[in-house]
Structure 1
Amino acid sequence: MSHYFWTVLLPTVALDLLLGDPHWMPHPVRWMGRTISGLETLLRRLFPKTPGGERWAGVVLALALPTLFGGGSALILWGLGQVSPWLSWVVQLWFSYQLLAARSLQKESMAVYSPLKAHDLEGARRAVSRIVGRDTQALDETGVAKAAVETVAENTCDGVIAPLIFLFLGGLPAGMAYKAVSTLDSMVGYKNDKYRFFGWASARLDDILNFIPARLSGLLLCLGAALLPGCSGRRAWTIFWRDRRKHASPNSAHTEAACAGALGVRLAGDASYFGKVVHKPTLGDPVRPVESEDIPRACRLMYAGAGLLLLLFAVLSVWL
């Protein structure tokens, strides 16, 4: 495990920080998305169009995709290893890096920060609309900054901390399997008429895989807040412990609550989706209003949490 940490996991993080996610580059998540769409069409055709039939079709999809990408990547690495260990290492490193999204989160959120600082509200609204699902046309500067901060906080778990955990525990195959489940949840894990039954298994599997990473992510952000200027570790812990369960999902509020406490702002609350207001609990106390500078602060908090996790992995890699 020590060898893997120093020769694969750390270079994986370095590649993410260096390259991010160029839009022109082929990406495994895009392959997963196309595979999900194709399998959904096939399974809906094969299974009865009843709640029970849709639920079983969704179970097959939820098991098939992580098996395909996790097992497939394990088989590919084994085959390449028979040819050349160096070739296997390069492929593992390249695809492992693509499972991380720290640099991408920073880049997309800072694309919101720049027009906000220039008082270009329309430009900021356009930029934030690319990273959130809510309606952005009527957001003021505070609302835009808040949406960007929430995106960084929420995705710290499934875009950074959780992939690192699965990569550390099981290498590229485990990381691919996790990302497959995460992509499934983002595409079919909705409680609407179309996916209420079909997406049930994907949503539950995502809840299970993120149960520990979400809570660890919140704790890491609390610790990171204690190390960063402009953040409060004590307040982060208080709000994290108080508000971490204030979400319909068992995992979604942990990192947002920690971030809200660290920054001394109030996050979440009501939001408009496709013209309909959705009522949600608020996270944190409004010690002060959300401001544009909270976007880079949230990014630094994300990096601090990831850095602390890597430090933990370094210690474990020596012991195990």
Structure 2
Amino acid sequence: MIYGREGMMALLLGVFFDLLIGDPHCFYHPIRLVGNLISVTEKGLRAVFPKTEQGEKTAGVFLSVIVCSVTAGAVAAVLYLAGKIHPYLHLAVMALFCYWMLAAKSLKDESMKVYRELKKEDLKAARRAVSMIVGRDTDQLTAEGVTKAAVETVAENASDGVMAPLLYLAVGGPVLGAFYKAVNTMDSMVGYKNEKYLYFGRFAAKVDDVFNYIPARLSALFMVAAAGLTGLSAKNAWKIFKRDRYNHASPNSAQTEAAMAGALGVQLAGDAWYFGTLYKKKTIGDALRPVECEDIRRANRLMYASAGLLLIVVMLLYCSFNILTLL
């Protein structure tokens, strides 16, 4: 880790505020600015580059370079200006950026909305709630399908919404964290293999794969370790992780989904509808028991425990590094 005491304090404050407040809906979230930047840049690049396979691929490369550079550069500039005004303001702004880049409470809150509708046996409302956090078609999902979708979302976003940002913030502070969030947001917006984004979004998807390669695997390993702490099966989580972690078109998505499925003892993934088209997908895990709505609560508990273990390891590494520098 390259960040010192101020960086660690900012990270801990960011984690604290994310756990306490989550993403408040009373103000415009800065990550939406990244989304707006992506949309505006995409529109401009599509107008400039030819609508051919190579033209769209080239435009996609420019999109990634522009969005990542502007996002990280803007955060660096704000931090520089804050530091010029006062050291405490610099710390406060760092902490605020760390808070904005973490999404543990938001992930839990949105998935628990699905849980509450399922508990009320309001399938229509549950489908509507889960449609807010997944990309698949939800209007024909059964209660089990809704539950699976919510659990899979918690599993996947435990990595790219919580643990990966935590890792990048620990290594490079808010600037690297912002760079990662730009990469991840681009993938969520243009990284589709449909007619519109097959070529334009290819580079963004590949960059996201690279940046999530190590975090996804570390997240899964921490999830396996945390399974035993949350009353779940660490042994089965390890078994399914080793067996099914590549049962997905993405090299990273199934890493945490496999650990989650094994820990819960359920089967996830399988065929799904996207934009009216059925996509054949491999299953992840063994159906040792039927999926139930309580699995959403269990998934969130495992997500929090995994992130907590990671934070403890980060703090121990930070303390060890500082002790070594004093010797």
If the TM-score is normalised by the length of the shorter chain, which range does it land in?
over 0.9
Q: Deviations over 1:171-191 (max 9, x none)?
A: 000000000000111111112
Equivalent position amino acid for 1:136 in 2: T
Moved over 4 A (4+): none
Mapped contact 1:5–1:313 kept (Cα < 8 A): no
Per the alignment, residue 302 of structure 1 pairs with: 303
Equivalent of residue 101 in structure 2, options 87, 99, 103: 99
Q: Percent same amino acid among aligned pairs? A: 55
Equivalent position amino acid for 1:235 in 2: N
CA distance in 2, matches of 1:317, 1:104: 27
Per the alignment, residue 11 of structure 1 pairs with: 13
Equivalent position amino acid for 1:97 in 2: Y
Q: Deviations over 1:57-104 (max 9, x none)?
A: 111111111111112211221121011111111112112111111000
Per the alignment, residue 324 of structure 2 pairs with: none
Q: CA deviation at 1:44?
A: 1.5
Per the alignment, residue 325 of structure 2 pairs with: none
TM-score using structure 2 length: 0.95
Structure 1: which 5+ residue stretches go unaligned? none
Per the alignment, residue 209 of structure 2 pairs with: 207
Per the alignment, residue 240 of structure 2 pairs with: 239
Equivalent position amino acid for 2:61 in 1: V
Per the alignment, residue 90 of structure 1 pairs with: 92
CA distance in 2, matches of 1:223, 1:105: 21
Give 3-state SS (helix, strand or coil) of 2:101's partner: coil
Aligned length: 319
Mapped contact 1:48–1:54 kept (Cα < 8 A): yes
CA distance in 1, matches of 2:29, 2:176: 17
Per the alignment, residue 168 of structure 1 pairs with: 170
Greater CA deviation, 104-113 or 48-57?
A: 48-57
Per the alignment, residue 188 of structure 2 pairs with: 186
Q: CA deviation at 1:50?
A: 2.0
Equivalent position amino acid for 1:41 in 2: K
Per the alignment, residue 137 of structure 1 pairs with: 139
Mapped contact 1:20–1:101 kept (Cα < 8 A): yes
CA distance in 2, matches of 1:234, 1:280: 25
Give 3-state SS (helix, strand or coil) of 2:281's partner: coil
CA distance in 2, matches of 1:38, 1:144: 33
Mapped contact 1:5–1:317 kept (Cα < 8 A): no
CA distance in 2, matches of 1:147, 1:307: 24
Give 3-state SS (helix, strand or coil) of 2:26's partner: coil
Structure 2: which 5+ residue stretches go unaligned? 322-327
Greater CA deviation, 152-161 or 38-47?
A: 38-47
Equivalent position amino acid for 1:7 in 2: M
Q: Deviations over 1:135-160 (max 9, x none)?
A: 22222221111111111011111100
Per the alignment, residue 38 of structure 1 pairs with: 40
TM-score using structure 1 length: 0.97
CA distance in 1, matches of 2:21, 2:68: 26
Q: CA deviation at 1:133?
A: 1.8
